[in-house]
Amino acid sequence: MKLDPKRIKTIVSSYIGQTFFYNTIIDVTDDYCVTFADSERIVERTLGEFVDVAKSLTHPLFKSKLESDFSKENLERAFEDRRTIRVEALIKDYSDKGEYHWYRLRLVPIYDDSHNIIFFFNMLRVDDDIKKTENNRSEIFNKAVIEQLIYNYILVYIIDLSNGMSRLVYSNEGDDYDTYARQFESHLDMMRDACDKFISEDFKTSFTRFMDYEYIKEQLKEKDRLVLIFRDKNGTAFEMTFSKYPEYADDYPIVVFALKELD
């Protein structure tokens, strides 16, 4: 039984309080998807067409995972298990110069009298979510970052060790370090490139260890701060630190990364 407009409206009304962006009803049984582009306009597609559109907007690193998560087989299993599917990925935002941003994607199973396999899909731009969270915790956030800046650090990132998401929150605008760091999508991408191009062979092993977020999480079980002193190929000494965010927890493993050049 194909979804009709009244039924769609009923379903969306039941879940609208939890929606974020790009709200879509996916009926796996009838191979039918309807996206609410705005309050008046809807776009209808098959499941395959919907996934193709999603893949076209998704960063290449996440395409295969998205295709797997949105496959008919996975949706059927999730529906049977009464399980919500959650995915985090870099998605292209056409309203923002076509740049990639982190989004949290969610597929919520819907159970009604049709007995069809139906999901409600929506997205949240995590950049905005983090910004909202940080505004609520502005005093804590500012304190965590300022503590790094008073020691003349040249790069400061906030990193979620659970998923690798990161944000450059401080750099000296326009200097060489700032220009270099802003080439990369993430802190980890920056670290990998620096290790390959600039780090002295004598320090590559220890530097590489500090690129392993699981290692960082393990070490922070026993301490609040990790420090590594290393040199680049020109002999310049640097100090990098990973410090626990004030509200750090096993389910909220947020750290402040800071880098400074030593005299």
State residue 227's pLDDT score: 93
- C-alpha 174 chain-centroid distance: 26
CATH number, span 136-261: 3.30.450
Paired tokens of 66 = 């998205």
Contact 246, 253 (CB under 8 A): no
Contact 117, 75 (CB under 8 A): yes
Mean pLDDT of 172-182: 89
| Residues sharing a CB contact under 8 Å with residue 256, sequence separation 6 or more, in sequence order | 144, 145, 147, 148, 156, 157, 158, 159, 241, 242, 243, 244, 245
DSSP 31: T
Question: Which of the following CATH numbers is that of domain 5-128: 3.40.630.30, 3.40.50.300, 3.30.450.20, 3.40.50.10470?
Answer: 3.30.450.20
Paired tokens of 149 = 């800046």
Side-chain half-sphere CA neighbours of 65 within 13 A = 12
State residue 190's pLDDT score: 96
Cα angle 221, 227, 231; round to 5: 145
- Split at pLDDT 50, 70, 90, the class of 11 is very low
Residue 203 or residue 126, greater confidence: 203
Instruction: Characterise 260 by phi-psi region: left (phi > 0), alpha (psi -120 to 50), beta (else).
Output: beta
- Split at pLDDT 50, 70, 90, the class of 132 is low
Which range is most confident: 3-12, 47-56, 165-174? 47-56
| Residues sharing a CB contact under 8 Å with residue 68, sequence separation 6 or more, in sequence order | 74
CA distance linking residue 72 with residue 249, whole number of Å: 36
Q: What percent of the chain is modeled with pLDDT above 70?
A: 77
Paired tokens of 49 = 């067409």
Mean pLDDT of 120-140: 62
| Residue 147, φ and ψ in degrees, nearest 5 | -60, -30
pLDDT digits 0-9 by tens, 59-70: 887 888 888 899
Residue 146 or residue 104, greater confidence: 104
State residue 167's pLDDT score: 85
Whether 5-128 shares its CATH topology with 136-261 is answered: yes
Kindly report whether the global pTM for this prediction surpasses the value 0.75: no
Residue 193 or residue 95, greater confidence: 193
Domain boundaries defined on the chain: 5-128, 136-261
Contact 104, 96 (CB under 8 A): no
